[in-house]
Chains A and B, each alone.
Chain A
């Protein structure tokens, strides 16, 4: 009887534990659902940038990335920003704050439920993922100085033709 009770209690407790999914690593393929949701073009090199309003490094990097995009070919390279602020209004305010500096020249996906970032599970923010043919080719986690130069060198490695 005691054993049965124990097994019932342990089973009920185990059911409460959420199943943890493993983080996406280099050379891993994105799921078709994720590609569809984010609208990733398989013919382009796509840069996914996770950012948030409270991230100081993101505030430095975002204008640099935004200024770089007009200089690059849109048919070969695309940037998708994912805002992970828990409050939608907070995220929107943050994006609008860049208007004085020319705004953000790339598509931004709002992720207040943090569903997208929980799939990628980056170890730090800002998190940059280069996707080519649905596969993660390069990733940068954490603050990086001169991110625009870093992006240019990265995409040239992935076959971007200038």
Chain B
């Protein structure tokens, strides 16, 4: 039993090593082929290389190198064949809920629409000057500071 176990473990290790070797080889061939002009097709599909045998890949690589024109000294990388670009989907359409929120959001008061807001009745204290003074006194006693309660420019929205 022990023998069988040892044998199986050794076999599995060798198999793993062989697979790694194959993978490394395929990667190196892939790297070589990437710089060849016409043979980008070989390297574009990684899965094919992994499945094929070591010998097959080297032969294919050699054939590919032969088929390339010798006059071209500077290799160019054909990125279009190597990388598959997925089109970015942009959805500029507003959703139904966004539109609904926009409808129910109160419209901003524009500077020329502040006639009612500028009136004395719109003050927190109202028309009664006593109540405003009373409010200010409470505010000053709570905050230990005074001032900064008025609005500059008479409510015209200029400051």
**A19 part of interface (Cβ distance < 8 Å):** no
Q: Which of A39-47, A68-76, A115-123 contacts B (4 or more CB under 8 A)?
A: A115-123
**B99 part of interface (Cβ distance < 8 Å):** yes
**B113 part of interface (Cβ distance < 8 Å):** yes
Are A142 and B112 in contact (CB-based, < 8 A)?
Answer: no
Mark interface residues in B94-138 (1 if CB within 8 Å of A CB, else 0): 001001101100000011111100110000000000000000000
Q: Given the known A-B contacts A54-B156, A142-B158, A143-B159, are A125 and B99 also in contact in the complex, defined by CB atoms under 8 Å?
A: no
Are A124 and B99 in contact (CB-based, < 8 A)?
Answer: no
* Interface size of A as a range: 20 to 34
Q: How far is the CB of B113 from chain A (nearest CB, A)?
A: 7
C-alpha gap A53/B155 in the complex (Å): 11
Give every chain B residue within 8 A of A86 (Cβ-Cβ): 115
Are B113 and A114 in contact (CB-based, < 8 A)?
Answer: yes
Interface of B is mostly: helix
B41-68 residues with Cβ-Cβ distance < 8 A to A are: none
C-alpha gap A16/B99 in the complex (Å): 11
Are A10 and B156 in contact (CB-based, < 8 A)?
Answer: no
C-alpha gap A85/B115 in the complex (Å): 7
A115-162 residues with Cβ-Cβ distance < 8 A to B are: 117, 121-126, 141-143
C-alpha gap A123/B153 in the complex (Å): 13
**A79 part of interface (Cβ distance < 8 Å):** no
C-alpha gap A16/B103 in the complex (Å): 8
Contact of A125 among B103, B111, B119 (CB under 8 A): B111
Are B158 and A126 in contact (CB-based, < 8 A)?
Answer: yes
Give every chain A residue within 8 A of B100 (Cβ-Cβ): 13
Give every chain B residue within 8 A of A53 (Cβ-Cβ): 115
**B17 part of interface (Cβ distance < 8 Å):** no
Are A142 and B103 in contact (CB-based, < 8 A)?
Answer: no
Are A142 and B153 in contact (CB-based, < 8 A)?
Answer: yes
The closest CB in chain B to the CB of A14 belongs to B99
The closest CB in chain A to the CB of B107 belongs to A18
Are A123 and B111 in contact (CB-based, < 8 A)?
Answer: yes
- Besides A55-B156, A56-B156, 9 more A-B contacts (Cβ < 8 Å) are A13-B99, A17-B103, A52-B115, A56-B153, A85-B115, A114-B113, A125-B111, A125-B156, A141-B158
Question: Would you give 29 A-B contacts (Cβ < 8 Å), ordered by A?
Answer: A10-B96, A10-B99, A16-B103, A17-B102, A50-B112, A52-B156, A54-B115, A54-B119, A54-B154, A54-B155, A54-B156, A56-B155, A56-B156, A57-B156, A85-B115, A86-B115, A114-B112, A114-B113, A117-B112, A122-B112, A123-B111, A123-B157, A124-B111, A124-B157, A124-B158, A125-B157, A125-B158, A142-B158, A143-B153
A residues whose Cβ falls under 8 Å from a Cβ of B: 6, 9-10, 13-14, 16-17, 50, 52-58, 84-86, 114, 117, 121-126, 141-143
